[in-house]
Amino acid sequence: MAKGIKTGGRQAGTPNKSTADLREAAQQFTADALQTLVDVMKDDAQPAAARISAATAILDRGHGKPQMHTETTISNVNAPTKIELVAFEGNYLKRLQASVLSEAE
């Protein structure tokens, strides 16, 4: 295979036949699987963790998984960037080397 160039396999957007077959076979059991989750969720004899897990699975499939929202706060907008730090380090090392060489003379 040429470096960086895809030369074989499925074309983009072509579904994987084995995955499609498996998905189709599994979808035959969707109603039974959902009923099993409901049964576990409603069964007081089941451990709380199992009931919560079943309820979460039902909610995720019925309404989608909840989105995570994150908030970022920048406390020091004047902090140097990584590029500035690398440039500073390079300049510092050059000055240090020049200083050491001038002392050696």
The end-to-end CA distance of the chain, in Å, is 56
Helices 30-42 and 48-63 cross at an angle (nearest 10°) of 140
* pLDDT score, position 83: 85
Cβ-based neighbours of 43, under 8 Å, separated by 6 or more: 51
Q: Is pLDDT larger for residue 54 or for residue 98?
A: 54
Decide: 54 and 38 in contact? Cβ < 8 Å. yes
Q: What are the tokens at 50?
A: 């199992």
pLDDT at 6: 67
Q: How confident is the model at residue 13 (pLDDT cuts 50, 70, 90)?
A: confident
Question: Phi, psi at residue 75, to the nearest 5°?
Answer: -90, -30
